[in-house]
Amino acid sequence: MKEFHFSKLASFSGTIKILQIHTPKFVLLIASTLILVTVVIHHHTPLSTLKYGNPSCNIFEGEWIWNPNATYYTNTTCNHIHNHQNCMKFGRPDTDFLKWRWKPNDCELPIFDPFKFLELVRGKALAFVGDSVGRNHMQSLLCLLSKVERPTDVSYREGQEFQRWYYPTYNFTVAVFWTPYLVRATQAEANGTTNMGLINLYLDEYDLDWTTQIEEFDYIIISAGQWFFRPTMFYENNKLVGCFKCLKDGVKSLELSYGYGKAFQTAFRAINSSPNFKGTTYLRTFSPAHFENGIWNEGGNCVRKKPLKSSEITLDYGALWLYNAQVDKFKIAEEEGKRNGKQFRLLNTTHAMFMRPDGHPSSYGHWPKENVTSYNDCVHWCLPGPIDSWSDFLLEMLRRDD
């Protein structure tokens, strides 16, 4: 059977709900949702100001603080912004969401320095492996680097799923591999019982589109997310073992975290068993969606204009399941990697991004009258926007490993 590529389908079906318990005007929405942020208002303690570069400082624990110096690129200085994330083009009226930077509790996280980054990756190659949120990160990185150099397109396949960019001055390559499930996947039914399509996932089989290519790379940034919320059939050892939301008689119902964890396990196995890959793998942890007042296809939206504080969020079931499932498999892979010369690093951005319900395109990913599958996008991130911080984290991690 021909492998099915999912690029034409809407890539999100997860949802987030923020329980607003300090103002009565928000209606508290109940269940059916998979992700939940609980908003609890506590007293906010001021942040301590410490030095850059303390290697024991956990850069992922912190707050978003006001940064009037931002932004560092625009839709005119960068031509890699995907239309659907070009929020300013489609008239997003507020700009405060651009003006925050991440401040770890116990140190500073320097703003991305493109010159420093390119020096560190000179002669190297970096691959983004995942779905459209991974591509969103790649485009953010290309934009941040655009101040220094414009890359040449060296893609060897058509379309945006397998692009490749080359920075001649630095002999640096960036590639993106489209693999929303990380493992082999085929389409089972176009619509399925839930009319969202039904997908066969072969949880123990490699997606050869990327696993055969990794030897060429020094860094892999791997991620996966919203596609696992779709109805899926789970196969292991080529046998149907159960499904998530397929609503079929006689098929055992399993949690989506079952498939999610196994997919990461298989992806890490592909990396750890590659004889020639000697690079570093970054797991960029689950990127939460922020639909409020309805799920993605039922009028849910994300209209907040500023970040939440860490005291206002608690990672709750859906997101926590997924986060834990991937981090559990990551820790096992990390140990195994130590035995055969492969490094694993956690790009632990879930918590920071939970605090950014204001960073999504919402309805500013298209013209107001346009007929699009998902009218309000609360999954991807505006460019420029808070996703640019992922490269701040990445550079700091590269610097610490240098």
Ligand X SMILES: *[C@@H]1O[C@H](CO)[C@@H](O)[C@H](O)[C@H]1NC(C)=O
**Is 56 a known active-site residue?**
no
Residues 5-44, one symbol each (x = binds ligand X by CB under 6 A, - = not), give ----------------------------------------
Query: Which of 131, 377, 388, 392 is the catalytic position?
Result: 377
CB of 66 to ligand X, least distance (A): 7
Per DSSP bridges, beta strands 172-178 and 164-167 are antiparallel
SS3 state of residue 85: helix
Residues 316-355, one symbol each (x = binds ligand X by CB under 6 A, - = not), give -----------x------------------x-x--x----
Show Cβ contacts of residue 209 under 8 Å, excluding neighbours closer than 6 positions: 3, 162, 177, 178, 179
Distances in whole angstroms, Cα of residue 76 to Cα of each of 40, 143, 300, 372, 383 = 39, 10, 31, 25, 12
DSSP string of 143-193, one letter each residue: HHHTTT-PPEE--SSSSSTT-EEEEGGGTEEEEEEE-TTSEEEEEEESSTT
Q: If binding is defined by CB under 6 A, does position 371 make contact with ligand X? A: yes
Q: If binding is defined by CB under 6 A, does position 191 make contact with ligand X? A: yes
The torsion angles phi and psi of 145, rounded to 5 degrees, stand at: -85, -15
- Residue 234's DSSP bridge partners are 201, 242
Residue showing the smallest CB distance to ligand X in the complex: 351
Size of the site for ligand X (CB under 6 A): 20
Show Cβ contacts of residue 74 under 8 Å, excluding neighbours closer than 6 positions: 88, 384
Q: Determine contact, residues 220/204, Cβ cutoff 8 Å.
A: no
Nearer to ligand X by C-beta: 91 or 252?
Answer: 91
Query: Which of 140, 363, 380, 392 is the catalytic position?
Result: 380
Q: Determine contact, residues 380/328, Cβ cutoff 8 Å.
A: no
Nearer to ligand X by C-beta: 133 or 203?
Answer: 133
Between residue 158 and residue 187, which ones bind ligand X under the rule CB under 6 A?
171
CB of 171 to ligand X, least distance (A): 4
Among 125, 142, 199, 267, binds ligand X (CB under 6 A): 125
3-state DSSP helix/strand/coil percent for the chain, to nearest 5?
25, 20, 50
**Is 287 a known active-site residue?**
no
Nearer to ligand X by C-beta: 23 or 49?
Answer: 49
**Window contacting ligand X (CB under 6 A); options: 2-10, 12-20, 69-77, 157-165:** 69-77
Q: If binding is defined by CB under 6 A, does position 214 make contact with ligand X? A: no
Q: Determine contact, residues 197/187, Cβ cutoff 8 Å.
A: yes
**Is 358 a known active-site residue?**
no
Q: If binding is defined by CB under 6 A, does position 123 make contact with ligand X? A: yes
CA 9 to chain CA centroid, Å, is 18
CB of 37 to ligand X, least distance (A): 14
Q: If binding is defined by CB under 6 A, does position 287 make contact with ligand X? A: no
Q: Report cis status (omega within 30 of 0) of the bond before 384.
A: yes
CA–CA separation, 133 and 159 (whole Å): 16
Nearer to ligand X by C-beta: 271 or 315?
Answer: 315
Query: Which of 13, 84, 131, 132 is the catalytic position?
Result: 132
Nearer to ligand X by C-beta: 75 or 311?
Answer: 75
Residue owning tokens 């991130």 = 381
CB of 29 to ligand X, least distance (A): 25
Q: Which residues are catalytic?
A: 132, 377, 380
Binding site for ligand X (CB under 6 A): 60-61, 67, 69, 75-76, 86, 88-89, 123-125, 171, 190-191, 327, 346, 348, 351, 371
